[in-house]
Amino acid sequence: MVKFACAIVCMRRLLFFSSFIGLFSCAEKSTPPETVYFAGEIVNPTSDYVVLYKNDAVVDSAKLDENNRFSFTLDNVEEGLHHFKHTPQLQYVFLEKGDSLLIRLNASPAYFDESLVFSGDNDVVNNFMIEMFLTHEDEEHVVYSYFKLPPDDFSRKMDSLQSQKLEELELLLNNEEISENGYALATASVNYTSFLYKEKYPFYHKKKTGEDTFDQLVTTDFYNYRKELNLNDRRLSYFKPYYDFMKHHFGNLSYMACIKNCGQEDFYSAEGQLHLNKHKMVMIDSLVTEEHLRDNLLRNVAMDFLLKVHMTNDECHRFVEDFESLSNNDAHVEEIKHLFKGIKNLQPNKALPHLVLEDAQGNTTTLRDISRNGNTVFYFWTADQKRHFKNVSKQVKKLEKLHPEHRFVGINLNTTKPEWSALLTETNFDLTNQYRGENFETVQNTLIVDHLNKCVVTKDTLIVNAFGNLYASFEPTKKP
């Protein structure tokens, strides 16, 4: 698949040029040599704006014109990786001073990434990154089938895939020149995905085969790439392949350190998770000095732990305090404190929080009013996730037959009112059991909706289980 990337990019570029000569003429107007021109056209837009970010800070925003085109003229650009957002989608763009870069994409969710093509300065780096992003998505299920292989065989498979992609990059560069930073970013899009799979390997191999290979891998050349790692690459701090690798790398190191030095073996219990994540925070704090990367990794550890265990005991309270003492990001600290408070408010036998919802007739009500009499299960869906919407509809109909003692109530998230109303008309949902949250973040934060399979089980107005799963929580209890 990778070997065809060059042909695909070239074909897209020809089509792109035929459509965008007019736009390019704008970019070629005389501008200061360091000014960056970034523009493009959005087919089937889902928002009126394109917003450009550097790290997590907004650089600028541009409104689409009557032809669904946008443009940025930027005089003071910090070179390197950026990302642009056209709500609700986002993707990366690499910019350097003096660049004139154009994009064209179809903003429909099914086509956003597949249709995106760059032309102009640094188009090779940007097109290569998007091709690698799509390639990794396509090959993921194949790689997961390799996790059952012995370590040497798995390593050879990963090395082969990595080599093919790097060779593809070299072919693209035969007639192109890119900067050192551009080359570093392009190679990172290949290498860190390969490294990530190797960090995952011992865990997934054990899950698939029951074989423990942790000690074996440390004494072989399986992790040879670790010798050349840069754990503080500022250029990559907000690059997903690098960031995802770092999360799993520290998880792997912490796991091995705890087994070797602490005698800890049970990492599936809440206590085991607490032990492991405390070590993980200390390790990140000691090895990562790049401020943004360090703070984001610490936030991820705290967020992941709290959402996984949902505990509020004294040990968890001390864990949150430890996070506060290590993090230098005040916004992250407030976010974690707010999450911990929210989890406390959703413990069993607590009253449901106050949350206003709208019914299909446009009337407002609250969670407590909806669940006032009997057993209620609140579940969540969004129009953006078509497959999930189909699956959850099927699951709810099944559960309504199996558990007639429960009322199953849908709460829609992040969908416009007209689209929500149209979907309700098209489906055979019972409209008396469908509600909508006007503000997505309010619903998400109040009920801590961290995944769409989540459900909240209540009796009258009291919480039974605020962290249920619409599938797992209703599975029959297995006989011993």
70-88 tens-digit pLDDT? 999 999 899 999 999 998 8
Mean pLDDT computed over 98-119? 92
> With 70 as the cut, is the pLDDT of residue 350 above it?
yes
Mean pLDDT computed over 413-435? 88
Mean pLDDT computed over 251-280? 86
> With 60 as the cut, is the pLDDT of residue 2 above it?
no
Report residue 165 as tokens: 């992609």
Report residue 357 as tokens: 């919802």
> With 50 as the cut, is the pLDDT of residue 15 above it?
no
> With 80 as the cut, is the pLDDT of residue 18 above it?
no
Closest by Cα among 450, 428, 432 to 380: 450
Report residue 399 as tokens: 């559960």
Q: What is the pLDDT of residue 479?
A: 40
Higher pLDDT, 311 or 195: 195
Residue pLDDT, tens place only, 19-55: 454 555 544 545 567 899 999 999 999 899 999 999 9
Q: What is the pLDDT of residue 21?
A: 46
Q: What is the pLDDT of residue 219?
A: 87
317-321, 334-338, 389-393: least confidently modelled range: 389-393
Higher pLDDT, 402 or 28: 402
Which CATH number does 2-121 carry? 2.60.40.10
Residue pLDDT, tens place only, 128-163: 999 999 999 999 999 999 999 999 999 999 999 999
Mean pLDDT computed over 258-281? 84
**What is d(CA 351, CA 343) in angstroms, rounded to the nearest whole number?**
13
According to DSSP, the residues that pair with 52 across neighbouring strands are: 60, 84
**What is d(CA 184, CA 181) in angstroms, rounded to the nearest whole number?**
5
**What is d(CA 345, CA 321) in angstroms, rounded to the nearest whole number?**
19
Mean pLDDT computed over 427-435? 88
**What is d(CA 409, CA 358) in angstroms, rounded to the nearest whole number?**
12
Say which residue the tokens 């609140």 belong to. 378
Q: What is the pLDDT of residue 360?
A: 92
At residue 278 the predicted structure's pLDDT band, cuts being 50, 70 and 90, is: very high
- Residue 432 neighbours by CB under 8 Å, 6+ apart: 359, 360
Q: What is the pLDDT of residue 462?
A: 97
Q: What is the pLDDT of residue 467?
A: 96
Q: What is the pLDDT of residue 147?
A: 97
**What is d(CA 397, CA 402) in angstroms, rounded to the nearest whole number?**
9
- The answer to whether domain 2-121 and domain 356-474 are alike in fold is no
Percent of the chain predicted with pLDDT > 90:
75
Say which residue the tokens 């107005």 belong to. 461
Mean pLDDT computed over 223-242? 95
Q: What is the pLDDT of residue 415?
A: 85
310 burial class (0-12, 13-18, 19+ CB within 10 angstroms)? middle
At residue 264 the predicted structure's pLDDT band, cuts being 50, 70 and 90, is: low
Higher pLDDT, 415 or 302: 302
Q: What is the pLDDT of residue 427?
A: 80
Cis peptide before 404 (omega within 30 of 0): no
Looking at every residue in the chain, the average pLDDT score rounds to 90
At residue 259 the predicted structure's pLDDT band, cuts being 50, 70 and 90, is: confident
Q: What is the pLDDT of residue 49?
A: 96
At residue 11 the predicted structure's pLDDT band, cuts being 50, 70 and 90, is: very low
In whole angstroms, how far apart are CA 136 and each of 23, 90, 181, 297? Answer: 31, 17, 22, 23
Mean pLDDT computed over 1-18? 45
- For 51-112, give the secondary structure using H, E and C: EEEECCEEEEEEECCCCCEEEEEECCCCCEEEEEEECCEEEEEEECCCCEEEEEEECCCCCH
Q: What is the pLDDT of residue 267?
A: 74
At residue 354 the predicted structure's pLDDT band, cuts being 50, 70 and 90, is: very high
Helices (H), 427-479: 440-447
**What is d(CA 149, CA 157) in angstroms, rounded to the nearest whole number?**
10
Mean pLDDT computed over 107-124? 91
Q: What is the pLDDT of residue 31?
A: 57
Higher pLDDT, 108 or 65: 65
**What is d(CA 421, CA 474) in angstroms, rounded to the nearest whole number?**
29
DSSP 307-358: HHH---SHHHHHHHHHHHHH---HHHHHHHHHHHHHHHHTSTTSBPPP-EEE
CATH architecture of 356-474: 3-Layer(aba) Sandwich (3.40)
> With 90 as the cut, is the pLDDT of residue 250 above it?
yes
Task: Parse the chain into domains and list their residue ranges.
Answer: 2-121, 139-345, 356-474
